[in-house]
Structure 1
């Protein structure tokens, strides 16, 4: 299957650069996956597509200020590091830019302790493809405090505007630190709107998937089948597994908020081959594209994704490629806002 099948024309002015003042003010494109029918709604109209007994599954990962700009002590050259995955201790998988300035064995310094020494030092241990670097940090004190002080929120490269308020790139239910990007479908929810859904009888369940390298790497293969996903860490505890199982057993829909929640749920369901899901954790590199049969997810709340991305392929697996391409073309015609700070879509 050629990657170009998932391409579409997207005017640059439709890429949202800043979040809306109120999270729930986004527009909503509702897509019936069975007949392709489209409706133009507001985000709070999500409530109309959820019934008592349905379960809304949210990813409660929390984004770390994972973008660091350091100085090479020997040349004074600047290098940006994006922290992607903690390996063990103070070793991390990162992306370096420009990578040619940060070869194996070289150092980067971050901050100043007042005596000319850095607050944080990074040593490159290994070099990988496309700017990947395995690095080791050296420091005194508490790493998370240094990261909060020195790091910036890792906004995607298509967002050029500076984010004035860090928390607008976090969901209101973000809990477990570890992501290099926000699960952006969840950015539309407020605590009040979630409570409104609960009052209607909708159940809430949480999974954790720490978003990593796959979010920042474009597809380089010509065919879908050749692409390899990078693994990301996930967790599902026993209480949330019970909530999802009960909803499913009682005829409720499992509604994933975001592609990260979908991938987590499908990973867990795939491990158990039709049995009720149970608490588990691990690493997933699941790649969902047309031809995949969903085992657990019935409906999806998501944002609008990049052309030729693995995320467009995931939603195409749920609703069909032609149906999704038609919906995306309609979203462009109707001037929906795209990507991380953009509008939302429900596929039901």
Structure 2
């Protein structure tokens, strides 16, 4: 398929700049992947779409304050966007400056904090952070103090620390490492999760540390030639057991977000679901055979994005494109802080 097959027209006014006042107050567009039927609902009605015995699989990654502003030793201003934390002192990052920093140069972020540029790694820069007043202080502590929440480029405002550090984070976020939120999970609050568990709906957590590459555009017209960025994920033995038990008892595996889909389907690429820990560059496009996920909760995705391709593979290309036309006409709110969809998988031949 061609990149242009995944384009659609979206008025700027429909790109959400802030989330709904309450997490569960978003709208929910339900799409049946088999017949294309659409129903407009509220996210608070999710309990009516789930059944006792179903399993919700969520991504428990935690967004780090991954955007830093600083200067070169020569005084030039720069911006750093973390792509991946490597260890206590080192990370890979995008660096935006008038001229790229050279190997061995130092980037200054405060009176005591700086980073040495060690080497280029493709389009990224490997940096080593240090604090002159505390040699044991690691990069995570530095980011917590000096970093800004890495809001996506289509949110055209500065981050508001007290607000976005809470709302650009799921209530079940646990493992630090993402530089973008698994946004489908932003619609859940603890009260809803407790209520779902009381109804006999189980939950399980996988981890995928979302990288800034998730916002990189596809630059080739033939999508088969696109090189997918890599992200680190982990699916445990315990989660695999939960999935097998859910299936054996007639329940559905419902992924909360495309990152959960990428976790589970990566763990089943061999043909059998098994524990997995490591990098994935899985690229899911129409024609992909889903082995694990039965239904998907997801936000609306950018035109011509790999995530729009993923949901098209899951619920059917024509179904998705028509649903997006409907969502625009009905003034749904789009992207990270926007509304959600509930998709059932299109079964082959339907």
Give the TM-score band, short-chain normalised: over 0.9
Question: What is the number of equivalent residue pairs in this alignment?
Answer: 337
Note if contact 2:117-2:125 (Cα within 8 Å) is conserved in structure 1: no
1:146-167 residue CA offsets vs partner (Å, 9 max, x unmatched): 2111101111111112343111
Note if contact 2:76-2:97 (Cα within 8 Å) is conserved in structure 1: no
Q: Which runs of 4+ in 1 moved over 4 A?
A: none
Q: Does 2:126 correspond to 1:134?
A: yes
State the alpha-carbon separation in 2 of the partners of residues 98 and 322 from structure 1.
Answer: 42
Note if contact 1:259-1:311 (Cα within 8 Å) is conserved in structure 2: yes
List alignment gaps of at least 5 residues for structure 2. 345-350
Note if contact 1:125-1:136 (Cα within 8 Å) is conserved in structure 2: no
Shift of 1:282: 1.2
Q: Does 2:119 correspond to 1:120?
A: no
Shift of 1:316: 0.2
Shift of 1:227: 0.7
1:29-58 residue CA offsets vs partner (Å, 9 max, x unmatched): 000100000001000112121111110000
Shift of 1:343: 0.3
Note if contact 1:107-1:124 (Cα within 8 Å) is conserved in structure 2: no
1:53-132 alignment to 2 at 5 Å?
A: 53-74=53-74, 76-98=75-97, 100-112=99-111, 118-126=112-120, 128-129=122-123, 132=124
List alignment gaps of at least 5 residues for structure 1. 113-117
State the alpha-carbon separation in 2 of the partners of residues 281 and 249 from structure 1.
Answer: 25
Matching residue of 2:337: 341
State the alpha-carbon separation in 1 of the partners of residues 215 and 317 from structure 2.
Answer: 23
RMSD: 1.5
Shift of 1:205: 0.7
Q: Could you tell which deviates more after superposition, 242-251 or 169-178?
A: 242-251
Note if contact 2:115-2:127 (Cα within 8 Å) is conserved in structure 1: no
Matching residue of 1:189: 188
State the alpha-carbon separation in 2 of the partners of residues 127 and 281 from structure 1.
Answer: 22
Match of 1:309 among 302, 305, 317: 305
Shift of 1:93: 1.6
TM-score by length of 1: 0.93
